[in-house]
Amino acid sequence: MREIKFRSWIKNKEKFIYDFILHQPRFNHSEKSILTQYTGLKDKHGVEIYESDIAFDPNKNIKGVICYDCHQARYKFVPLSLYHSNAGDGGWSGFELNVNRRLPEVIGNIYQNPDLLEEAEL
């Protein structure tokens, strides 16, 4: 069974918290924090892969962002060129994250490492 957990990006402190309990919200969470969900997968170094992580796929020599495709109900590795051009409707073009395939390596996330969103080659 997949472990269900989240991390929360606290906007005003510019940091993630990982160990917390979700309660019935008394405020709009999106104003103060952003929740991202654990995919249930780890990269080859044992780093947990979350939504909004920036990863590198050494096989394809490309960087991408981990996104949840709500149309296909699955997590995807979305190459930066497709991430930047996405229409924003919740459907993502990219490669399905799958334990049967070699997983990309986490190198950062879109909140703490926005500079990694540049499309320059590694």
Question: For the chain, which domains are there?
Answer: 6-21+30-117 (2.30.30.290)
Instruction: Return the DSSP state at 115.
Output: G
Q: Is the pLDDT of residue 55 over 80?
A: yes
Query: By the 8 A CB rule, do 73 and 58 touch?
Result: no
**How far apart, in Å, do the first and last CA atoms of the chain sit?**
35
Give the tokens for residue 90. 């919740």
pLDDT band at 1 (very low <50, low <70, confident <90, very high): low
Q: What pLDDT does residue 122 have?
A: 47
